[in-house]
Amino acid sequence: MRTGTAGSAESSDILITVRDSDVLSVTVRSSVYEYFGKSIEKTVREVLRERGADRVEVICEDRGALDGTIRARLKTALDRMEGRE
Amino acid sequence: MRRSFLFVPGNSPGMLGNAPWLDADALIFDLEDAVALPEKDAARDLVREFLRSVRKTKEIAVRINSMDGDLWKRDLEAVVCPALDAVVLPKARAGDAVALSAVLTEMERERKPDSRTGIIALVETAAAVSETEEIAALPRVNAIMLGAEDLSADIGAERTPSGEEILYPRMRVVYACAAAGIDSVDTPFTDVRDGEGLKKDCHFARRLGFSAKAAVHPSQASVINECFLPSPASVAKAARILRAREAAGGKGVFAVDGKMVDRPVLERAERTLAAAREAGLPVPEE
């Protein structure tokens, strides 16, 4: 099974792990989930749609990342999973 | 104004996010030395997203990886966009700067047809020092920055707080930039805990003729900005000189405070007042 990880557990960052899956699933864990959980998931799903990635499992450990950071980390994780550099 | 150039690690979302509100006049997002090899891809992606969403408050440059490898091409592919003002070219050689300029010209056609990306050439090898004038004269190069740490390693010199081992390249950069009409940026002061040492180093660089200095920590930017502003005494003297010019009524040479004033002195006084006005400093009537 292919896996890709990017980001970190530092403040303002997000650690994203993606792996092959039969279905699309997105899990977000965040200390500010109540306020931003939906927005993080929306950004993740947007990037997945842009990439045509519909059979992946995405796990996000958020530490207060901004939208651009989420997009960047997910792109890197997908590239790493796909073996692109 | 371009007095302080602050390096910001390209793979740190927190630092990138705070950078626009720091005191530095210009920011350099670093994809080279501040990023470990396994994280180069992540830093590139992060800086790309940041450049596309940043609310510009100041000049933004990106230090790409050096042109003796392949990473620089992917760096450029990621970062050339309207928000990018300049590319910092590490281990710059004249031939590299020419090649980089050609690639930028090609990329700008589609990506930023209304603005031109500058090149800040980082002179940090003995070979580059020997080409300083050639590099400074290249059309896209708008500043040369001295990189003393790599340079002293390259020539086998020991870095010292007084910096005598880099006096020659410092002077070479100052003269080459003055002749080409571009900015000269002094090497960073790397002991971030030594505020007094930083001040001394800034004043020394200023006396040599540098127009700016690089910073490696946010706290250094305000110190550099202060040091590279005209002092109140120099502003007052410049205003006195220009007032005396009026009183001299067209004489080519006259005296102020017992010292001869001629064209170069007048030009320096005009530059001092222009810099003071740009920085919003109080300027006495001429």
pLDDT tens readout for residues A4-53: 999 999 999 999 999 999 999 999 999 999 999 999 999 999 999 999 99
* Strand pairing report for B86-89 and B59-63: parallel
Query: Cβ of B41 and A85 within 8 Å?
Result: yes
The three-class DSSP label of residue A84 is coil
CB pair distance less than 8 Å for B46 and A72: yes
Tell me the C-alpha to C-alpha distance, in Å, between residue B44 and each of A58, B8, B10, B50. 21, 13, 7, 10
* pLDDT (0 to 100) of residue A81: 96
Whole-angstrom Cα distance, residue B190 to residue B170?
16
| Nearest partner of B133 among B184, B86, B88, B85, judged by Cα | B184
Does the distance separating the beta carbons of A67 and B14 come in below 8 Å? no
Strands B86-89 vs A25-30: parallel, antiparallel or unpaired = unpaired
B214 forms bridges with which residues in the sheet? B5
Is A85 a residue whose pLDDT tops 70? no
Q: With bands split at pLDDT 50, 70 and 90, how would you rate the model's confidence at B248?
A: confident
Query: Contact at 8 Å (CB) between B69 and B91?
Result: no
Rounded CA-CA distance B29/B21 in Å is 14
- What's B56-95 look like in SS3? CCCEEEEECCCCCCCHHHHHHHHHCCCCCCEEEECCCCHH
* Residue A44, phi-psi category: left (phi > 0), alpha (psi -120 to 50), beta (remainder): alpha
CA angle B185, B186, B189 (to 5 degrees): 135
Flag whether pLDDT at B286 surpasses 80: no
Residues of A in contact with B12 (CB under 8 A): 10
pLDDT tier, B231 (very low <50, low <70, confident <90, very high otherwise): confident
For chain B, what percent of residues have pLDDT higher than 70? Answer: 100
CA neighbor of B32 nearest in space, from B77, B83, B99, B88: B88
pLDDT of B259 reads: 87
**Beta-carbon separation of B45 and A73 below 8 A:** yes
Asked if A69 lies within 8 A of B45 by C-beta distance, the reply is: no
Q: Which of A65, A75, A85 sits opposite B13 (nearest CB)?
A: A65
Nearest to A4 by CA among B268, B256, B42: B42
Stretch among B13-17, B126-130, B142-146, B270-274 having the lowest mean pLDDT: B270-274
Q: Are B31 and B243 in contact (CB under 8 A)?
A: no
User: Where does residue B258 fall: left (phi above 0), alpha (psi -120 to 50 degrees), or beta otherwise?
Assistant: left
Contacts of A79 in chain B (CB under 8 A): 41, 45
Contacts of B45 in chain A (CB under 8 A): 6, 72-73, 75-76, 79
Scored b (16 or more CB within 10 A) or e, B165-179 reads bbeebbebbbbbbee
Q: Which position has the token pair 């003393």?
A: B148
Q: Which of B13, B42, B52 sits opposite A76 (nearest CB)?
A: B42
For B53, name the nearest residue in chain A, comparing CA atoms only: A68
pLDDT at B172: 98
A-to-B residue pairs, Cβ atoms closer than 8 angstroms: 45
Please tell me the distance from the alpha carbon of residue B168 to that of residue B27, in angstroms, as a whole number. Answer: 27
CB contact under 8 A, A6 and B42: yes
> Residue B167: CA atoms inside 13 Å, Cβ hemisphere, count?
8
pLDDT over 80 (residue B111): yes
Its pTM surpasses 0.80: yes
B-chain residues within 8 Å CB-CB of A69?
13, 17, 46, 49
Reported as a single tens digit per residue, the pLDDT across B24-51 is 999 999 999 999 999 999 999 999 999 9
- Helix, strand, or coil here: B156? coil
Report residue A55 CA to chain centroid gap.
Answer: 13
pLDDT band, residue A1 (cuts 50/70/90): confident
Residues 6+ apart with CB under 8 A from B229: B3, B275, B276, B279, B281
pLDDT tens figures, B65-100: 999 999 999 999 999 999 999 999 999 999 999 999
The answer to whether the beta carbons of residues B100 and B119 sit under 8 Å apart is yes
- Chain A residues whose beta carbon lies within 8 Å of the beta carbon of residue B73: none
The distance of B274 to chain A (nearest Cα, Å) reads 39
Q: Which residues share a beta bridge with B209?
A: none
pLDDT computed for residue B246 by the predictor: 86
For the segment B101-129, the average pLDDT, to the nearest whole number, is 95
Chain B residues within 8 A of A6 when measuring between CB atoms: 42, 45
pLDDT at site B162: 87
Cα distances (angstroms) measured from residue A29 to each of A53, A57, A72, B10, B268: 21, 14, 18, 25, 60
Identify all chain B residues contacting A7, using CB atoms and an 8 Å cutoff. 42
- For residue A65, the chain B residue with the least C-alpha distance is B13
Are A13 and B13 in contact (CB < 8 Å)?
yes
CA atoms of B23 and B15, how far apart (whole Å): 13
Per-residue model confidence (pLDDT) at position B40: 98
Kindly provide the ipTM of the predicted complex, given to two decimals.
0.95
What percent of chain B has pLDDT above 90?
A: 79
Q: Mean pLDDT score of chain B, rounded to an integer?
A: 94
- Beta bridge partners of residue B146, listed in sequence order: B123
Of A29-38, B148-157, B268-277, the poorest mean pLDDT is in B268-277
Top residue of A10, A11, A12 to mutate, by most chain B CBs within 10 Å, is A12
